[in-house]
């Protein structure tokens, strides 16, 4: 088969996100079959390619990496507006239990469209209830059709209210079925190769919705296949009180007892670890998905991101569910991460470039990827571009175009390329009729609410 080449040239600024922090004027990138072969000044790169994109007036950078989401929650945005996490969950569990296979597919497509249009090229999702015949396969099918690099988490809940858990019994699953389906998904879909477009993650939901036995067995199964694991942890003080009452252990202590630490583990939120727990999480290189908007929306608190990073923990950003953030804007999440760290009193607590590092290199590290998150030869051609002459950047990009991405109003992306394929061109998502998609999505959302 013949190779396909791509040249993007004359970018006003090309941000590599490499270890040296290289940023190039009149930058260019050359890729063959979805893999970068050259990065540098336009004049020094090959000048012919099967596809050539003139990036004058644009800033190019690596695609953003989302480490935590709940796609299906796009159907229940702006609900339970004034609840904390436990109250929010108990309000929404019954609605989510009514989702059909079509609802899961339509919601997934909506979430992915929003992510693509805001600069995300690689995303994880953590769906943990599977009503009415829905399966992870339904999300995998949609992500493949949309050309997104996807870490599909097989979430689960097994401890309902009758056994002391938070979720109603109608939304939990039998643990033997969860483990059997997890093994099926790994064997059918997981791709460990460099440049993989699809990987499977095992993701029991939380300490208040699964048993310690399922946590242990899911981890053992994942490690037997070389698959990563993910869960929610230390998100709220209610969770801490629950774990102390049920297990006599704080959330992080419980996960340590169960073996849920290390380079193949990442936890969402990590708002309330102790100083000693932070040190241990860093020493084991455990990952953290920081979700600032969700933590603020649900009044969960401020995660100690600076301390976790200094200790050695792998930290990336997650938009979290679109019903606890009500949006899926990765660049907006980077901006919020910066502001939230600074609001505690230190204007130097996080810089714009550090926030973008979390959204790219940090996210790649959390997902266990060394082939994305920066623009360098041998890595995946996942590239995004923003026009610098737009209103949101006026008076900002002329001083520092990189910082403008974070300090100014976060715009949608103008160009998105995943695995060497253009997915967004001139701000338009290719291959999806958005008005039709939104109409069907809203109809399903109304049906869910009206059924209550």
pLDDT in tens, 248-262: 999 999 999 999 999
Distance from C-alpha of 144 to C-alpha of 58, rounded to nearest angstrom = 28
pLDDT at 3: 85
pLDDT at 452: 65
pLDDT at 269: 98
Query: Which residue from 270, 280, 332 is spatially nearest to 120, judged by alpha carbons?
Result: 332
Q: Is 281 helix (H, G, I), strand (E, B) or coil?
A: helix
pLDDT at 196: 98
- Mean of pLDDT values over 352-371: 98
Distance from C-alpha of 370 to C-alpha of 150, rounded to nearest angstrom = 15
Q: What is the pLDDT of residues 17-60, one digit of tens each?
A: 999 999 999 999 999 999 999 999 999 999 999 999 999 999 99
C-beta separation of 61 from 414 below 8 A: no
Retrieve residue 158's tokens: 């097994």
Retrieve residue 352's tokens: 């714009």
Q: What is the pLDDT of residues 383-418, one digit of tens each?
A: 999 999 999 999 999 999 999 999 999 999 999 999
Q: What is the pLDDT of residues 302-350, one digit of tens each?
A: 999 999 999 999 999 999 998 999 999 999 999 999 999 999 999 999 9
Q: State what percent of residues in the chain have pLDDT above 90.
A: 98
Q: Angle at Cα 172 formed by Cα 181 and Cα 211, nearest 5°?
A: 85
Distance from C-alpha of 433 to C-alpha of 257, rounded to nearest angstrom = 49
How many other C-beta atoms can be found within 10 angstroms of the C-beta atom of residue 44? 9
- Mean of pLDDT values over 74-87: 96
Q: What is the mean pLDDT of the chain?
A: 97
pLDDT at 1: 59
Q: Bin 211: left if φ > 0, else alpha if -120 < ψ < 50, else beta.
A: beta
Distance from C-alpha of 19 to C-alpha of 88, rounded to nearest angstrom = 41
Give the largest Cα separation in the chain, rounded: 68
Distance from C-alpha of 58 to C-alpha of 328, rounded to nearest angstrom = 23
Residue with tokens 């938070």: 166
No. of helices (H) and no. of strands (E), the chain: 15, 17
Strands (E), 45-135: 51-54, 58-62, 64-66, 120-127
Q: Angle at Cα 127 formed by Cα 202 and Cα 363, nearest 5°?
A: 65
Alpha helices in 284-329, H assignment, sequence order: 292-297, 305-311
Distance from C-alpha of 264 to C-alpha of 284, rounded to nearest angstrom = 10
By the 10 Å C-beta count (0-12 exposed, 13-18 middle, 19+ buried), 370 is classed as: exposed
C-beta separation of 317 from 334 below 8 A: yes
Q: How many residues does the chain have?
A: 452
Residue with tokens 């013949």: 2
Residue 2 has pLDDT above 90, yes or no: no
pLDDT at 451: 75
From residue 293, how far is each of 328, 342, 345, 358, 386 by CA, in Å?
10, 14, 19, 15, 23
């Amino acid at each position: 088969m013949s190779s396909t080449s791509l040249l993007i040239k004359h970018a006003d600024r090309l941000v590599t996100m490499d270890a040296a922090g290289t940023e190039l004027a009149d930058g260019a990138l050359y890729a063959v079959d979805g893999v970068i072969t050259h990065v540098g000044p336009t004049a020094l790169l090959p000048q012919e390619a099967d596809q050539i994109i003139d990036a004058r007036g644009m800033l190019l950078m690596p695609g953003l990496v989302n480490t935590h989401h709940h796609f299906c929650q796009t159907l229940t945005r702006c609900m339970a507006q004034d609840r904390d996490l436990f109250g929010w969950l108990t309000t929404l569990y019954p609605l989510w239990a009514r989702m059909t296979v079509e609802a899961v597919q339509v919601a997934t497509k909506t979430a992915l469209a929003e992510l693509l249009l805001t600069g995300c090229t690689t995303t994880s999702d953590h769906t943990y209830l599977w009503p009415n015949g829905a399966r992870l396969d339904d999300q995998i099918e949609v992500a493949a059709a949309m050309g997104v690099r996807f870490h599909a988490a097989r979430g689960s809940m097994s401890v309902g209210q009758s056994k002391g858990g938070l979720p109603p019994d109608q939304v939990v699953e039998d643990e033997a079925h969860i483990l059997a389906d997890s093994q099926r998904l790994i064997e059918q879909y997981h791709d460990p190769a460099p440049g993989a477009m699809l990987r499977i993650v095992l993701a029991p939901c939380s300490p208040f919705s699964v048993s310690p036995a399922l946590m242990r067995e899911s981890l053992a199964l994942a490690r037997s296949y070389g698959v990563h694991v993910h869960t929610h942890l230390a998100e709220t003080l209610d969770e801490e009180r629950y774990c102390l009452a049920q297990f006599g252990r704080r959330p992080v202590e419980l996960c340590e007892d169960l073996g849920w630490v290390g380079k193949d583990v990442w936890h969402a939120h990590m708002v309330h670890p102790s100083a000693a727990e932070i040190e241990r999480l860093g020493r084991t290189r455990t990952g953290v998905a920081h979700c600032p908007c969700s933590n603020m929306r649900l009044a969960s608190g401020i995660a100690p991101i600076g301390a976790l990073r200094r200790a050695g923990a792998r930290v990336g950003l997650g938009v979290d569910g679109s019903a606890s953030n009500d949006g899926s804007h990765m660049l907006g999440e980077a901006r919020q991460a910066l502001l939230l760290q600074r609001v505690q009193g230190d204007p130097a607590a996080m810089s714009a470039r550090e926030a973008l590092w979390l959204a790219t290199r940090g996210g790649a590290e959390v997902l266990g990827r060394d082939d994305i998150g920066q623009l360098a030869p041998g890595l995946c051609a996942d590239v995004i571009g923003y026009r610098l002459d737009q209103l949101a950047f006026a008076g900002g990009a002329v001083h520092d175009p990189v910082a403008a991405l974070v300090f100014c109003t976060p715009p949608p992306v103008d160009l998105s390329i995943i695995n060497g394929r253009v997915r967004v061109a001139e701000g338009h998502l290719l291959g999806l009729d958005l008005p039709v998609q939104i109409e069907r999505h809203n109809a399903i959302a109304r049906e869910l609410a009206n059924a209550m």
